Amino acid sequence: MKKPWPLFSCSPHCGIVNWIYVSKDGYLVPINRLLDFEKFFNVLLKLSESIESKGKIQILFALFIAALKSLNWRLVHKEIGLLNFFKTVLRMHMSPTYKSLGTIRRRIFLLGSMAFMDRYNFDLNRLRRCVIHYVTPDLMIIPFCAYNNIYRPRIEAEYSEKEIALKV
């Protein structure tokens, strides 16, 4: 790439996430069993040098080649079916909508876990890389853990409705 891109990622200490595929037999299969991501990104890196100034079609073709070289074909064929897989991938790239995922979307889900900071493990370096934010009524944007640990009592006191005693 000609110009460096900033790294937009949370701290590795903030959480974990993985896509999970539910097999036909009901087993949970991590997505990295279907696709070797390290191989995928290595192939993309090699291809990116030759397609840097090319158009969208060449970039999609490079993604397709990288996927071809890094898929676990036996498992994809058994679980999804090759024709169904290729039709779904083509639909997703031609018209990227939830509907374009077809029947695959019924058997794939995101599993995540977050490790939020509290006053005992608060870390400013982690906070600087926060990717989850609150927007307050006065439009301040505050990182999630900072909001919970520092700002929440003041914001809630300022914007919550006062309790009204009812006479019965």
Q: Is the pLDDT of residue 1 over 50?
A: no
> Which range has the top average pLDDT, 38-47, 78-87, 129-138?
129-138
Pair 103, 84: CB distance under 8 Å: yes
Beta carbons within 10 angstroms of residue 70's beta carbon: 18
What contacts 108, CB < 8 A, 6 or more positions away? Answer: 19, 20, 21, 22, 31, 101
Predicted pLDDT at 3:
63
For the chain, give every domain's residue range.
Answer: 15-113, 116-159
Q: Is the pLDDT of residue 154 over 90?
A: yes
Q: The tokens of 63 are what?
A: 């993604």
The pLDDT tens digits of the residues spanning 103-147 come to: 677 788 888 888 888 889 999 989 988 888 999 999 999 998 899
Q: The tokens of 165 are what?
A: 């005693």
